């Protein structure tokens, strides 16, 4: 079964403008799957899941820590994401939604049943950038399953750098909107193949909603174990 997803969306439960219902209604209209990935929060993701009867849906959370790093964690089980949140996030929340009172390396060996993990906007601003604290960034890159190579909110240069990084590391790639505004939902899309409860990134392409800010790419990725898929480039 093949699905197209926007894998990085924020709602009113963190710093987005959309409600979970908005996300699901837009997903129906655009015929895409979605993942709500609020900052250090799962209420929006769970509400989206409860509303997603006619929409392909992946539970998610964007974990941001006091060292300024962020990782996207995805789940296919509501009990797993709730357990993860209650044990690993909620007790450490601060008055800053994007930062909890923990370091990211505390999450890099957790034995949770993640569906997959991604580093978002690896060439984003300030501490999010992998050039800040290179040793820690390398640990994150080794840990994650995927690299976000197209983020609608990032510059073309940042996305191009992310693309080169993913190719160098031979990591599966995702594209997403990182939508904080309702109108941006669906402006970065990933084509996933889901087979026997395993996800393989078969084809990943960027959205063409904004040609000026879009890297027009089409990738074919060898279908193997999701975590160790080998990139096969075509029409780049």
Least confident of 14-18, 32-36, 158-162, 214-218: 214-218
Query: Looking at the DSSP assignment, which residues form a beta bridge with residue 68?
Result: none
Q: What is the pLDDT of the chain when averaged over all its residues?
A: 83
The pLDDT value given to residue 205: 44
Helix (H) or strand (E) holding 220, with range, is strand 218-221
Question: Which CATH architecture does the domain made up of 6-194 adopt?
Answer: Alpha-Beta Barrel (3.20)
Whether pLDDT at 150 is above 50: yes
Q: Are 74 and 8 in contact (CB under 8 A)?
A: no
Whether pLDDT at 227 is above 50: no
Q: What are the phi and psi torsion angles at 161 (to 5°)? A: -65, -40
* CA 143/CA 107 separation, integer angstroms: 10
| Interaxial angle between packed helices 43-51 and 20-30, expressed in degrees from 0 to 180 and rounded to the nearest 10 | 50
Length of the chain: 236
Half-sphere exposure (Cβ direction) of 42: Cα atoms closer than 13 Å = 26
Whether pLDDT at 131 is above 50: yes
The pLDDT value given to residue 226: 30
Whole-Å CA distances, 9 to 22, 33, 41, 100, 191: 11, 11, 12, 19, 16
Mean pLDDT of 154-179: 90
Q: What are the phi and psi torsion angles at 231 (to 5°)? A: -70, 130
Whole-Å CA distances, 127 to 75, 131, 161, 221: 26, 8, 16, 30
* Domain edges within the chain: 6-194
pLDDT band, very low/low/confident/very high, at 72 (cuts 50, 70, 90): very high
* CA 109/CA 93 separation, integer angstroms: 20
pTM: 0.85
């Amino acid at each position: 079964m093949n699905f197209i997803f926007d894998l990085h969306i924020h709602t009113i439960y963190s710093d987005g403008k959309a409600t979970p219902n908005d996300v699901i209604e837009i997903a129906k209209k655009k015929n895409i799957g979605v993942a709500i990935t609020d900052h250090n929060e799962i209420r929006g993701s769970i509400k989206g899941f409860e509303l997603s009867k006619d929409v392909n849906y992946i539970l998610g959370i964007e974990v941001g820590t006091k060292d300024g790093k962020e990782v996207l964690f995805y789940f296919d089980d509501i009990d797993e994401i709730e357990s993860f949140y209650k044990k690993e996030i909620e007790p450490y929340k601060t008055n800053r939604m994007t930062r909890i009172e923990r370091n990211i390396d505390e999450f890099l060996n957790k034995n949770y049943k993640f569906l997959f993990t991604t580093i978002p906007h690896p060439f984003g601003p300030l501490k999010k950038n992998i050039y800040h604290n290179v040793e820690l960034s390398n640990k994150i890159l080794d840990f994650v399953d995927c690299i976000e190579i197209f983020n609608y909110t990032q510059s073309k240069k940042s996305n191009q750098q992310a693309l080169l990084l993913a190719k160098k590391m031979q990591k599966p790639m995702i594209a997403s909107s990182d939508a904080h505004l309702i109108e941006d939902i669906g402006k970065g899309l990933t084509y996933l193949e889901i087979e026997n409860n395993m996800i393989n990134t078969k084809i990943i392409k960027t959205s063409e909603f904004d040609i000026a800010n879009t890297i027009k790419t089409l990738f074919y990725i060898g279908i193997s174990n999701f975590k160790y898929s080998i990139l096969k480039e075509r029409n780049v």
